């Protein structure tokens, strides 16, 4: 491939290609008017079953499994390939136009929450679960939660994009981001060699945030043949942890919500029985 010589000023080239090229834009804000539906439960989730979306539905199902009935929710489908994230109603909940986005209608004034890490922290604090209250344990949990938020863009937007979605295979970015993805897996492997769960002995929102990305990667669920390419069998502690989380009933339920491809699709969830 010929070297690219950047022009003095970048301009929007809609022909840049790649799997998600049609939804990428250099501007923010709504492209069309569209109100969001509101269902019967206090919590209204607008999402899709990508790794970022699964984090929230897994936590909600875990909260319900613990008996927190206030965590009942409607999960509405946002088809990002069709540009639903650019509708005016969605942009009012998340000005960044990305799933997941949550509205909490349980109080006098509805509360919006966007960014999956913020949603996990909000729900964990609201229900007093999956986030330790003791300062050291809480700091460890939030450190790993924010580690996930900062690291996964290198895995998804970096490695995953250039390995699976870019219009052609380019050695430089694939090398750079494979190196980083493996480094991140090794960070987790070393942690999980000495700790049952990510933040310690307890299962927390740190596990819930990290599992859909890095658990999914070592279980071969992300980016075609990437598990073989990245030699994920080397990360045996991550595999042990991923298997343990895979086996949780609430995780199995949560990862199905808003799923529109593969097996056991469930585009919307409005009642616990939708998953039974
Ligand atoms: N940092 C955000 C990332 C969310 C994100 O990247 N969502 C993707 C799907 S996984 C999305 O909605 N993409 C639509 C778009 O980029 O237009 C979070 O964790 O909530």
Residue 24 lies in a domain: no
For residue 14, what pLDDT band results from cuts at 50, 70 and 90? low
Phi, psi (5° rounding) for residue 136?
-65, -40
Q: CA 33 → CA 86, 90, 104, 132, 271, distances in Å?
A: 9, 10, 22, 41, 28
Q: What is the pLDDT of residues 57-100, one digit of tens each?
A: 999 999 999 999 999 999 999 999 999 999 999 999 999 999 99
Q: What is the pLDDT of residues 175-208, one digit of tens each?
A: 999 999 999 999 999 999 999 999 999 999 999 9
CATH number of the domain residue 100 falls in: 3.40.30.10
Q: What is the pLDDT of residues 31-64, one digit of tens each?
A: 999 999 999 999 999 999 999 999 999 999 999 9
Choosing from 20, 48, 99 the residue with most ligand 1 atoms within 8 A of its CB, the one to mutate for a pocket test is 99
Residue 1 lies in a domain: no
For residue 18, what pLDDT band results from cuts at 50, 70 and 90? confident
227 with 145, same domain: the answer is: yes
Containing structural domain, residue 178: 135-248
Ligand 1 centroid–CA 135 distance in Å is 30
Residue whose CA lies nearest to ligand 1 atom number 4: 98
189 with 261, same domain: the answer is: no
Q: What is the pLDDT of residues 126-148, one digit of tens each?
A: 999 999 999 999 999 999 999 99
240 with 263, same domain: the answer is: no
Residue for token digits 């909260």? 63
> Would you say the CB of residue 258 lies under 6 angstroms from ligand 1?
no
149 with 164, same domain: the answer is: yes
CATH number of the domain residue 192 falls in: 1.20.1050.10
Task: Report the distance separating Cα 27 and Cα 152, nearest Å.
Answer: 23
> Would you say the CB of residue 54 lies under 6 angstroms from ligand 1?
no
């Amino acid at each position: 491939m010929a070297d690219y010589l950047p022009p003095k000023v970048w301009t929007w080239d809609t022909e840049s290609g790649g799997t998600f090229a049609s939804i990428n834009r250099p501007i923010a804000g709504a492209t069309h008017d569209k109100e969001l539906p509101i269902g019967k439960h206090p919590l209204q989730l607008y999402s899709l079953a990508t790794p970022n979306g699964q984090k929230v539905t897994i936590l909600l199902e875990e909260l319900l499994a613990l008996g927190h009935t206030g965590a009942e929710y409607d999960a509405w489908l946002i088809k990002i390939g069709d540009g639903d994230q650019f509708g005016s109603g969605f942009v009012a909940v998340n000005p960044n136009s990305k799933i997941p986005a949550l509205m909490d209608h349980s109080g006098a004034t509805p509360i919006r929450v966007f960014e999956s890490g913020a949603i996990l922290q909000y729900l964990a604090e609201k229900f007093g679960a999956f986030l330790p209250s003791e300062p050291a344990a809480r700091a460890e949990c939030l450190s790993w939660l924010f580690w996930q938020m900062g690291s996964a863009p290198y895995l998804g937007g970096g490695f995953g994009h250039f390995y699976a979605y870019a219009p052609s295979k380019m050695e430089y970015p694939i090398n750079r981001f494979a190196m980083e993805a493996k480094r991140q897996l090794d960070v987790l492997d070393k942690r999980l060699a000495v700790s049952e769960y990510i933040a310690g002995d307890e299962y927390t929102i740190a596990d819930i945030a990290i599992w859909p990305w890095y658990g999914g990667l070592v279980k071969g669920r992300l980016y075609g043949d990437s598990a073989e390419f990245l030699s994920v069998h080397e990360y045996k502690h991550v595999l042990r942890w991923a298997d343990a989380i895979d086996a949780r009933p609430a995780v199995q339920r949560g990862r199905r919500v808003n799923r529109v491809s593969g097996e056991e699709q469930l585009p919307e969830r409005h009642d616990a029985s939708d998953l039974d």
